[in-house]
C-alpha cells in the first residue's frame, strides 16, 4: 500500500508540475523580455530597435504587456551577438534578438565559425528595410560618384571605404560596387555602423557605405552621393540618385531588413503569440511617427513573409557571394 500510495502521490505531483508549466506558458509574458542587438548603442539597429519596442508595455495597448529591454552585444559585424544568441539564449520566450538581413545570412554562408543560420532561428516579424548609401566626409573633394571613380581609377587601391564589418549589407554593397565599377578600392571593416560612420566624418577613410537612417541623421556632417537600391528613397532622400542612375550596376542585395527573432526550440504557442502581437506593436502610430522622424524606413512583414524572405535571400546571397571575393 505504501508503494502504491507513493506512486499515486508522485503522479499527482507530476500533474501539478505539468499543469503549472502550461499555466505559466499561458501567462506569458509575466516579466520583461530582453532583445539582443548585435551592434553598438546608438547605431541604426539599436536606435530602431528601441523605437519599435517602446510601446510593448503600454497599459492602453494590447501588445505584450511587459517592457522590452535592449541588450547590446556588438562585435565582428554582428557575429559576437548572434553567436551568443544561437548558442546560449534561453528558449522560454524571454530572450529574443534583432536580426539583420543580409548580414546574418551572408555570414552563415561565408564563415565557418558562425553558430547561426536560418534553420536554427525563428523569425517573429520584420519592422524595416534600410538601404545602404555611399557617403564621403564634408570636406571630401568628391561631390559625385563620377568624381570618386575618376580618382579611384587613377589611384588603384588608395581609396578606402568603411563599413560595419565583413559580409554585412555595407560590405556587400562595397563588393558589388567594386565589381561593377571595375576599380580597385580598399574595405576597412568596423564593429558597427556608428564607428564606420565616425571614420568617414573624421577623415580616417575616404568614403564608406552606411545605413540610410544613420546617414539621414548625420547629413550636416557628411555628403551622401548615392543609394544602393533599385529606386530612390523618396521619403527621406529624394534628391539622392541610385548607383544604377550613376552608371554603376548595383542592385538591392545589400538592403538591410531588420526584425525580431527567437531561438529554435521556443514554445510554438509563444511564437504564435509574438507573431500576432509584435507586428501590431511595430505599426503603432506613435512608433511610425518616431521612426519617420528618425529617418528610418519601415517595412512591416509578418512571420510567414519573413520566413519566405529569409529563404529567398539565402538563395540569392549564396549565388551572389559565390561570385564576389572578400578583400
- Contacts with 113 (C-beta within 8 Å, 6 or more apart), sequence order: 79, 83
Confidence (pLDDT) at 291 = 96
Task: Give exposure, 34-49, as e/b (b: 16+ Cβ within 10 Å).
Answer: ebbbbbbeebbbbbbb
Distance CA 254, CA 234 (A): 18
Distance CA 108, CA 292 (A): 31
Q: Cα-Cα-Cα-Cα dihedral of 296, 299, 300, 301, to 10°?
A: -140
Superfamily of domain covering 132-228: Periplasmic binding protein-like II (3.40.190.10)
Q: How many of the other CB atoms lie within 10 Å of CB of 245? A: 13
What is the chain's alpha carbon radius of gyration, rounded to the nearest angstrom?
22
Confidence (pLDDT) at 182 = 95
31-129+255-322: in CATH 3.40.190.150 = yes
pTM: 0.84
Mean pLDDT on 68-90? 96
Mean pLDDT of the chain: 91
Confidence (pLDDT) at 26 = 77
- In terms of Cβ atoms closer than 10 Å to its own Cβ (0-12, 13-18, 19+), residue 274 is buried
Q: How confident is the model at residue 103 (pLDDT cuts 50, 70, 90)?
A: very high
| Edge-to-edge strand list for the sheet holding 298-301 | 68-72, 33-37, 95-101, 256-263, 121-130, 298-301
Q: What is the pLDDT of residues 135-174, one digit of tens each?
A: 999 999 999 999 999 999 999 999 999 999 889 999 999 9
Q: What is the pLDDT of residues 271-322, one digit of tens each?
A: 999 999 999 999 999 999 999 999 999 999 999 999 999 999 999 999 989 8
Q: What is the pLDDT of residues 14-68, one digit of tens each?
A: 443 333 333 334 799 999 999 999 999 988 899 999 999 999 999 999 999 999 9
Q: Do domains 31-129+255-322 and 132-228 have the same CATH topology?
A: yes
Closest CA to 114 of 127, 122, 123, 105: 105
Q: Is the pLDDT of residue 200 over 80?
A: yes
Q: Is the pLDDT of residue 244 over 90?
A: yes
Domain boundaries, the chain: 31-129+255-322, 132-228
Cα distances (angstroms) measured from residue 188 to each of 6, 170, 172, 228, 263 = 68, 11, 13, 18, 31
Confidence (pLDDT) at 3 = 44
Amino acid at each position: 500500500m505504501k508503494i502504491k500510495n507513493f506512486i499515486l502521490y508522485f503522479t499527482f505531483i507530476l500533474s501539478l508540475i505539468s499543469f503549472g508549466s502550461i499555466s505559466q506558458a499561458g501567462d506569458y509574458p509575466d516579466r520583461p523580455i530582453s532583445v539582443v542587438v548585435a551592434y553598438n548603442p546608438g547605431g541604426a539597429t539599436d536606435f530602431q530597435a528601441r523605437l519599435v519596442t517602446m510601446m510593448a508595455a503600454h497599459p492602453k495597448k494590447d501588445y505584450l504587456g511587459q517592457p522590452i529591454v535592449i541588450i547590446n552585444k556588438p562585435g565582428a559585424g554582428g557575429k559576437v551577438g548572434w553567436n551568443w544568441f544561437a548558442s546560449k539564449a534561453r528558449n522560454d520566450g524571454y530572450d529574443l534578438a534583432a536580426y539583420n538581413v543580409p548580414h546574418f545570412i551572408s555570414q552563415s554562408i561565408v564563415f565557418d565559425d558562425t553558430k547561426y543560420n536560418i534553420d536554427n532561428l525563428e523569425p517573429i516579424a520584420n519592422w524595416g528595410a534600410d538601404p545602404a548609401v555611399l557617403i564621403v566626409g564634408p570636406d571630401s573633394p568628391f561631390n559625385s560618384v563620377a568624381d570618386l571613380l575618376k580618382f579611384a581609377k587613377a589611384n588603384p587601391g588608395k581609396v578606402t571605404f568603411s563599413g560595419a564589418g565583413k559580409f554585412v549589407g555595407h560590405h556587400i554593397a562595397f563588393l558589388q560596387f567594386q565589381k561593377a565599377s571595375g576599380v580597385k578600392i580598399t574595405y576597412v571593416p568596423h564593429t558597427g555602423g556608428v564607428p564606420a560612420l565616425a571614420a568617414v566624418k573624421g577623415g580616417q577613410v575616404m568614403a564608406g557605405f552606411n545605413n540610410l537612417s544613420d546617414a539621414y541623421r548625420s547629413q550636416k556632417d557628411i555628403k551622401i552621393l548615392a543609394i544602393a537600391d533599385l529606386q530612390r528613397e523618396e521619403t527621406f532622400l529624394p534628391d539622392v540618385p541610385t548607383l544604377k542612375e550613376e552608371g554603376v550596376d548595383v542592385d538591392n542585395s545589400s538592403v538591410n531588413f531588420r526584425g525580431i527573432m527567437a531561438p529554435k526550440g521556443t514554445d510554438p504557442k509563444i511564437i504564435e503569440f509574438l507573431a500576432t502581437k509584435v507586428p501590431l506593436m511595430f505599426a503603432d502610430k506613435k512608433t511610425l511617427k518616431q521612426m519617420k522622424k528618425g529617418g528610418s524606413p519601415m517595412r512591416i512583414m509578418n512571420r510567414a513573409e519573413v520566413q519566405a524572405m529569409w529563404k529567398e535571400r539565402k538563395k540569392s546571397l549564396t549565388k551572389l557571394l559565390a561570385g564576389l571575393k572578400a578583400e
